[in-house]
Amino acid sequence: MRVHVVSDVHGNSEDLEKAGDGADALICLGDLVLFLDYADHSRGIFPDLFGVENADRLVELRTARRFEEARVFGDRLWAGIDRHTAIESAIRRQYAALFAAFPTPTYATYGNVDMPSLWPEYAQSGTTVLDGERAEIGGLVFGFVGGGLRTPMRTPYEIDDETYAAKIAALGEVDVLCTHIPPDVPDLCYDTVARRFERGSAALLEAIHTVRPKYSLFGHVHQPLVRRMRIGATECVNVGHFASSGAPWTLEW
């Protein structure tokens, strides 16, 4: 059995069309939407609306962790614009292309920048969306939990720690844990380019210790200090930043 796993697709529908080639199934760990490309400030919803110079400034403020200034700066740009309508319209265009690129079968969960309310409109019959749910693939039980934890960034699908922990607990015994965010381990949470720690889940780390799955697969941290480490019986793997690599991570058994 061969499964390809992607995360942090961020608008890369072209490579997504090929991500399932040679695999029995594709798993997507979320972040389909591209709001702003930190490597290329000309790409994404924000520069499409406000231009590259404003995107440069927003990235500068966020990278410096001046989140309140970034929020005020953004609010000035959005003044007089129906933010919800503009963003939803742009996300719909991205989702139409991205969901059409998913092969059959695909098992997908949400990232922190996704809008779960829109997914039922775009997920085709070959795509199974799971969040706090399990699926059997090739004789192994996979558990899926989407979204991220609350941060000053206030991305669209952030939830409180208790709700996230309840979804982890609802999975029970699984062979493979599939989440968007990593377990709360500093080496797995630190982004070497952004030079900051992203939020990892303590509940996920606890499940790794108690459930002892074969694998914990995740994304979210685009340039992690450590991409892979073993915690007890579990191989923890950041499957990579698909938006830039265009290459899935492979799991075979």
For residue 238, pLDDT beyond 90: yes
Report yes or no on 126 lying in a domain.
Answer: yes
Report yes or no on 7 lying in a domain.
Answer: yes
Report yes or no on 46 lying in a domain.
Answer: no
User: At 153, which CATH number?
Assistant: 3.60.21.10
Report yes or no on 42 lying in a domain.
Answer: no
Report yes or no on 68 lying in a domain.
Answer: no
H helix runs in the chain, sequence order: 13-16, 45-50, 52-63, 67-78, 83-101, 119-122, 161-171, 186-189, 202-211, 242-245
The predicted structure's pLDDT at residue 65: 86
Report yes or no on 133 lying in a domain.
Answer: yes
Phi, psi angle pair for 3, to nearest 5°: -125, 135
200-236 pLDDT, tens digit each: 999 999 999 999 999 999 999 999 999 999 999 999 9
Report yes or no on 214 lying in a domain.
Answer: yes
91-138 pLDDT, tens digit each: 999 999 999 999 999 999 999 999 999 999 999 999 999 999 999 999
30-76 pLDDT, tens digit each: 999 999 988 899 999 999 999 999 999 999 998 888 989 999 999 99
Q: How many domains does the chain have?
A: 1
135-164 pLDDT, tens digit each: 999 999 999 999 999 998 889 999 999 999
Report yes or no on 9 lying in a domain.
Answer: yes
Name the residue range of residue 188's domain. Answer: 2-32+102-252
